[in-house]
Structure 1
Amino acid sequence: MSTAATRPADQDHLWSVDEHLEDILTTVRPLEPIELQLLDAQGCVLVEDVTVPVSLPPFDNSSMDGYAVRVADVAGASEEFPAALEVIGDVAAGQAEPLHVGPGQAARIMTGAPLPPGAETVVPVEWTDGGLGEGPVTGMRARSLAPEGARGEVQVYRPAEARAHVRAKGSDVKAGDRALEAGTVLGPSQIALLAAIGRGTVRVRPRPRVVVVSTGSELVQPGEALGSGQIYDSNSFALTAAARDAGAIAYRVGAVADDAETLRSTIEDQLVRADLMVTTGGVSVGAYDVVKEALSHVGDEDEAGSGVEFRKLAMQPGKPQGFGSIGPDHTPLLALPGNPVSSYVSFELFARPAIRTLMGLEDVHRPRTTATLTADKALTSPKGRRQFLRGTYADGEVRPVGGAGSHLIAALAHADALIVVPEDVESVEPGSEIEVVLLG
């Protein structure tokens, strides 16, 4: 249950951004670890160190197509005086019983094949006649080796140092080394390493399941015709994409009409697949703000009312917010404003950290930096409110994009940063240093 549910409600209390975020992050807990197949674990966070059971590579192997030889047999070799060696056979990758290379002998070897006993180095095929008796192999002839299984003689035209073109056993990682640390997010390269050391499954915190529900009788789905007074539902698409970007498995629920019973039923139906619920719209003070009404009846009949508290925050955009937990499993729920910019900014500040916390990550916040404000005029901000303006950031400078209106979604599409104007600042002059949240 949200810690908010234990506090007496104070409709006049103005919460700070930091207070609201702290309440969320002290309530939300990382998901319980599970064992997953490698590809199912992509994007998840390891909960334990992974130790290497077998060295990589597990044996000395060739990094080139060529011939495995003894160093002494090719010492002093040149184009004028090549070393003539007996080819005793082929060594291919995966070959179970490698040949033994003795004095005056060579084994034709493929990239990745184990260095055979007796051999000390590998001469690339380009340093030989390829077993064809036609001089050094060059250009396309580098692929024209003697037919597989051919015996006979190969001419070597250059000497090779010991273990040249040989990948040593354990040169990547050694048995007993720590391959990956707990807390690592598993991407393609980490999954490749796990597969290479023989791990078929791994213990991780699963990606959280986030259900996004937008509300409003005026909302129409993209692709449909707009009627009088209607607008397209962009919030559910924006927040679902943002949840996926944060690392979640996100489900979008199409716009729900302004009817408390319909919304309540929709949310209850979606709880079965939600580790976090996010609603947008219907949280301000108004006759049709049905989210408050609907959430007061969600979940078990044994629940003593709603665990969601609706608040006013000292921020712009995004003053009205709701947070708490609902249903028998006390699923956390964030109720965000309906204006597109308010909704997205609120998601970045509150929902994204909640998702990253569910994943079990240490750093749950977007990176922040200080930048020089580049603008045609001073920025103004309401006293007592922390304002978040859209901007573009590059090379230590940030420039505002669009105005302060919470409906200006076109400007949001071109922004890669949020400009943060503190509560006690009412004006920021061009050239001033200012904090920015990096969204890219």
Structure 2
Amino acid sequence: MTATADAEAAANELTPLADYLGSVLRRLRALPPLDLDLTQAYGNVLAEDVVAPHLFPAFDQASVDGYAARWEDISGGSRGQGYVPAPSGTPGGRSIRLNVVGDLGAASWRPVRLTPGSCFSVAAGAPLPIGADVVVPVEWTDQGMAAVEIFRAPNRGYGVRRAGEELPAGTLLARAGTYVSPALVAVFAATGIGHVVVRPSPRVVVVATGDELVDVGRGSQPGQVVDTNSHALTAAAAEAGALAYRVGICDDDPEALRGLLEDQTLRADLIITTGGTGTGPGDMVRRILSRREGGRAGPVAFTEVALYPGTALGFGTVGAEEVPVVCLPGEPGAAMIGFEVLARPVIQLLAGAEPVFRPGVRAHLLETISSPVGLREFRPAHVAERRGGGYTVQPLSGGPFTLSGLAEANGLLVLGERVTTAAAGSTVDVLLLDRRR
């Protein structure tokens, strides 16, 4: 057999990534819903549809500072669209003069009524007097107090917000599965909602394993590796919307690992481990969590997945509460890609978010690249919108194992299991990453 044929034969023994993800996600359910005070709801996902109990605005009100008046009193027979000059705006013309019969602020509550030839001074947000159908901006007047001279007449309805014109009572404000944003919090508050039912943000615990690991703040030495993964994965979990906790480094000690995981089940909705997923003598996570006991399989199944980089992934549950656990490789690039393809969708599903996968686009490839046969590759890339529409994608140097490439990337170029070469000019799939820059 040729080297290519050998590679294809080996790849055929791997589990396709789509099949593996489907089998994992089907085992999970979103976390039970909670009724939260509105101030605590931001960042969570709605578990129920939310309907406006009250209309917004709740009453007719002024939207600008000015003078609430009757349009027929100030129009002076003006014609045309937009803001038109009153008669004083033309040579030899005259301004409109109205009596100011009172002041209304946002805290005013007594109903008042306009009579012909009069107006009220109003602040933005103040209730409109009965009969008012226009608010003249302050800057279009002489800002008089007992009487006001109006130099320009706005269209009828200018500066007026009618009750319920934005959101009538009974309006569907958001559907279940919607992320609660700051703007949505404002909408809920404005329509009289004080509590919403949401899926809680998953509590995610991240554990790095390995005798060789040392904490950050120093350089690596022979026999020592700085713990990159637990810091990066904790940040990635937080970016995905989780309440993320880093518990640090666990040595390759079976009892210590069992005890640590058992302790963390008390505060975790998901545990992520990194390192020890291979089949070597030092791969303690796999040896401990996949060990058969009493004729039963271990709590975590480790699967060789058709994924590049990093094929060995683990998933199962631990502890009496059967807390889900995701086991990622120890190599930093493989751990980060493993998080994207497995751990992040798990977090999204637990949170009740829809969809669970990152958005993707089809993009025009700017450079010819090769990919391992039989593996679905995720490669850091830079995606840009084309001026005439569509996207271009530039693979970043070094491939998926370079941390600098992952740091620069705003997308992950995805090459399927059957793709060995993607030519410049071809169209490829790209996952879009969150990048606040």
The TM-score with structure 1 as length reference comes to 0.86
Task: Tell me the alpha carbon deviations over residues 84-116 of structure 1, each in whole angstroms, 9 at most, x when there is no partner.
Answer: 322221011121114332222221111111111
* 1:339 aligned partner, one-letter code: E
Distance 1:426 1:121, change over 3 A: closer
CA distance in 1, matches of 2:267, 2:326: 16
Task: Tell me the alpha carbon deviations over residues 360-388 of structure 1, each in whole angstroms, 9 at most, x when there is no partner.
Answer: 2231112223323222xx43333222222
CA distance in 2, matches of 1:302, 1:101: 87
Aligned counterpart for 2:115 among listed residues 80, 85, 102: 102
2:337 aligned residue: 345
1:321 aligned residue: 313
CA RMSD of aligned residues (A): 2.3
1:27 is paired with a residue of what secondary structure?
coil
Distance 1:438 1:155, change over 3 A: closer
| 5+ residue gaps, structure 1 | 1-11, 132-145, 147-151
2:262 is paired with a residue of what secondary structure?
helix
Residues 300-315 of structure 1: pairs in structure 2 closer than 5 A: 306-315=298-307
Identity among equivalent pairs (%): 43
CA distance in 2, matches of 1:72, 1:399: 63
2:244 is paired with a residue of what secondary structure?
strand
Distance 1:74 1:303, change over 3 A: farther
2:380 aligned residue: 390
Is 106-115 or 307-316 further displaced after alignment?
307-316
Aligned counterpart for 2:360 among listed residues 365, 368, 371: 368
* Residue 45 of structure 1, CA deviation: 1.4
CA distance in 2, matches of 1:410, 1:69: 64
Is 23-32 or 303-312 further displaced after alignment?
303-312
Distance 1:418 1:158, change over 3 A: closer
* Residue 24 of structure 1, CA deviation: 0.9
CA distance in 1, matches of 2:414, 2:123: 59
* Residue 260 of structure 1, CA deviation: 1.8
Distance 1:297 1:98, change over 3 A: farther
* 1:91 aligned partner, one-letter code: L
Distance 1:30 1:303, change over 3 A: farther
The reply to whether residue 205 of structure 1 matches residue 199 of structure 2 is yes
* Residue 231 of structure 1, CA deviation: 2.5
Aligned counterpart for 2:398 among listed residues 397, 403, 406: 403
The reply to whether residue 164 of structure 1 matches residue 177 of structure 2 is no
CA distance in 1, matches of 2:382, 2:133: 58
1:14 is paired with a residue of what secondary structure?
coil
CA distance in 2, matches of 1:20, 1:44: 27
1:49 aligned residue: 49
CA distance in 2, matches of 1:28, 1:154: 68
CA distance in 1, matches of 2:337, 2:121: 63
1:130 aligned residue: 143
* Residue 49 of structure 1, CA deviation: 1.8
* 2:55 aligned partner, one-letter code: S
| Count of aligned residue pairs for this structure pair | 405
The reply to whether residue 15 of structure 1 matches residue 15 of structure 2 is yes
Distance 1:335 1:388, change over 3 A: same
CA distance in 2, matches of 1:427, 1:237: 34
Residues 130-149 of structure 1: pairs in structure 2 closer than 5 A: 130-131=143-144, 146=145
Query: Contact 1:264/1:297 (CA < 8 Å) preserved in 2?
Result: no
Query: Contact 2:261/2:318 (CA < 8 Å) preserved in 1?
Result: no
* Residue 82 of structure 1, CA deviation: 2.7
1:85 aligned residue: 98
2:223 is paired with a residue of what secondary structure?
coil
Distance 1:153 1:371, change over 3 A: closer
Task: Tell me the alpha carbon deviations over residues 48-78 of structure 1, each in whole angstroms, 9 at most, x when there is no partner.
Answer: 2222122111111112211122233324254
* Residue 297 of structure 1, CA deviation: 8.0
Task: Tell me the alpha carbon deviations over residues 382-404 of structure 1, each in whole angstroms, 9 at most, x when there is no partner.
Answer: 32222222222223222221334
The TM-score with structure 2 as length reference comes to 0.86
1:429 aligned residue: 423
